[in-house]
Copies of this chain bind each other. A is one copy, B any other.
C-alpha cells in the first residue's frame, strides 16, 4: 500500500498549502502508520516534498549535505508513504509511513530513544542492527 500522486498539477495545488521557511524548508515528522511510533524528524524543501508525493517514497532535504536525501538510498532502510498530512499553519507535515528496518542511523527503530527523566537520561531502545551493517565498516 503506497500513496502516490502522479499528477504534477495536483501536486502543485497541494504544495501551495506548504509554508516553507526562510531556508526553503518545512518540518517533516515520520510516523509508523501501524504502531503510531514517531520514527524521526527531518526537513523537506519543495522538491523533496514534491518527489515524496509523486513517488510514494520518502525524500528529505539534508541540511548538512544540502541536497536531497532519499531515505534508504545508502542504508536500504526505505520509508514508503502511506498518507501525508499538513498542519493548520502549513509549516509542518506528518508522514505516515511503512518503515523497512530502522529509521535511525544508530540502528534503532526510532531516533527518539533517549528519555529525559528525573533519574537522568535513559536509553529506552537498543539498536536492532549495527551502523556498520547499515553503512559499511
Residues in chain A within 8 A of chain B (CB atoms): 3-7, 10, 13-14, 17, 27, 29, 31, 35-38, 40-41, 53, 83-89, 91-94, 104-106, 108, 111-118, 120-121, 124
Which residues of B have CB within 8 Å of A13? 120-121
> In the complex, what residues of B have CB within 8 A of residue A53's CB?
116
Measured CA separation A10–B116 after assembly (Å): 10
Cross-chain contact A120 with B88 (CB below 8 angstroms) = no
Let me know if A41 and B29 touch, CB within 8 A: yes
Whole-angstrom CA separation of A92 from B29 in the bound complex: 10
Instruction: List 19 extra interface pairs beyond A88-B108, A88-B114, CB under 8 A.
Output: A3-B117, A5-B118, A13-B120, A14-B116, A17-B116, A29-B29, A29-B38, A31-B38, A36-B37, A38-B38, A38-B94, A53-B116, A84-B116, A86-B114, A86-B121, A88-B106, A88-B113, A93-B116, A94-B112
